[in-house]
Amino acid sequence: MGKQKALEPQSNDWLFSCPATMLTQQIITTLGVPDQPVTEFSARKWDAPWRMGNDIFRTYRVPQSYEPGQEVGWDIIKERALAKCHNEDGRFMGEFVIIRESRPEVASSLSFFVSIIHAYIQDLQKKNQRTLAKIVVVLAGWGEETLVGRIAGRHRVAYAINPFPKSPRHPWHTSHYTRD
């Protein structure tokens, strides 16, 4: 078996890190997304994918759970995650996701969830969804420049982590989910 090539991190404009102790309101204000629904998770127990899946189900009030060691289904998580993104009328509202206690020991679960969010964003781009709302993910406490992990036990992914801005940004001025 040969040495694996380094995986080039996917650049993005929606994945950030911030200090572990930063307050939610400070994160929202600095990134300039004050009117979007906010969801917070703690990745403290995300050492196994089934724990991450159960945490997502609990947070989004899905009456389902995984048993220890059970394989986590990509489709069901993608369908249930980001439930706050759309209002009752189906209009895309965006979502601001903060994942606290993000650390290298849970990189695989973080990668799995971030990959689901990335796929969701790609679906919105394919639909040419015109909106100022967007999905923003902040890994609170993450100290690396990239997030690299293996999802579904075999597929490796790598995402560039945007550094947290030092001063508040203006709200998003351009349409995020359109293809030019």
- Read out DSSP for 25-78? HHHHHHHT-TTS-EEEEE-TTTTSHHHHHHHHHHHTT-S--PPTTPPPPHHHHH
* pLDDT bracket for residue 166 (50, 70, 90): confident
Candidate CATH numbers 3.30.390, 2.30.29, 3.30.1360, 3.40.50; the one for domain 15-160: 3.40.50
For all residues of the chain together, what is the average pLDDT? 84
**pLDDT tens-place string over residues 88-122:** 887 888 899 999 999 999 998 999 999 989 988 88
Q: Residue 174: its pLDDT value, please? A: 41
**pLDDT tens-place string over residues 74-89:** 788 888 778 788 888 8
Q: Residue 101: its pLDDT value, please? A: 96
